[in-house]
Structure 1
Amino acid sequence: MIRAILPAVLLISACETAVGPAGTDLPFFGNGYRFDGDACRRVGEDAFTNPFLDDSADLVGCPADLENLGVFVLDTGAEEVARRDGFVLYSVPRR
């Protein structure tokens, strides 16, 4: 019996789960928007974000206190669509 359970336990423990920043339940994913390690990240779909999703743009969340938000907006053409839990959500057009 234990021999049959062990492979399943090992397989489950190897699965990686996506965890968003502490203090929010926004459905963040990826390792950074534009480049790995960036503070801004793409945001997925849930009841709150659904109205902001667009098939011609990425929904991106950045910490509201991020020092270079103005540069991010200018570089990407981002448009602020919401704020929640200390994050600014932007719709960033895909070019």
Structure 2
Amino acid sequence: MKPLGLTALMVIASSLTACTPSSMDQPQISEPDPELNFVRPYRGAGDTCQLVGENAFTVDFLDDAADLVACSTGTDDSASLAASEAARVVTQTNSYTLYSVARR
């Protein structure tokens, strides 16, 4: 069996990278953590997810038919909010994921 030439290796490498997601396909979160106006725990006293009020950062995400809720990204409370409340992610910062939760 003959060894592959440099050109053949480059073609193979190029086709392999076309099949794998690049870092450009992944969301890049570089938004610094804003000052959030936390109102109260969202689902109860022990909930780390917080109802968020209006300020310069959140004004574009508020909806009169939904609650804006911030959870620390990657926490169990964040995952359970997304699953149990059908919450929709509206933005993410370095530390927080902000969800829109429709009022029933």
User: TM-score, structure 2 length as denominator?
Assistant: 0.63
Matches within 5 A, 1:1-95: 25-30=35-40, 32-95=41-104
Runs (5+) with no aligned partner, structure 1: 1-22
Secondary structure (helix, strand or coil) at the match of 1:54 reads coil
Q: What is the alpha-carbon distance in structure 2 between the residues aligned to residue 41 and residue 71 of structure 1?
A: 13
For the pair shown, which has the larger CA radius of gyration, 1 or 2? 2
Q: Larger relative contact order (C-alpha < 8 A, sep ≥ 6)? A: 2
Do the aligned partners of 2:34 and 2:57 also contact (CA within 8 Å) in 1? no
Change (3 A) 1:27 1:68: closer
Do the aligned partners of 1:27 and 1:44 also contact (CA within 8 Å) in 2? yes
Q: What is the alpha-carbon distance in structure 2 between the residues aligned to residue 90 and residue 24 of structure 1?
A: 15
Give how far 1:24 is off: 5.0
Runs (5+) with no aligned partner, structure 2: 1-32
**Two-structure CA RMSD over aligned residues (Å):** 1.5
Aligned residues: 72
Give how far 1:85 is off: 4.2
Q: Which amino acid aligns with 1:58?
A: D
- What is the match of residue 4 of structure 1? none
**Structure 1 stretch displaced more, 61-70 or 41-50:** 61-70
Q: Deviations over 1:15-43 (max 9, x none)?
A: xxxxxxxx75111111x111112000001
User: TM-score, structure 1 length as denominator?
Assistant: 0.68
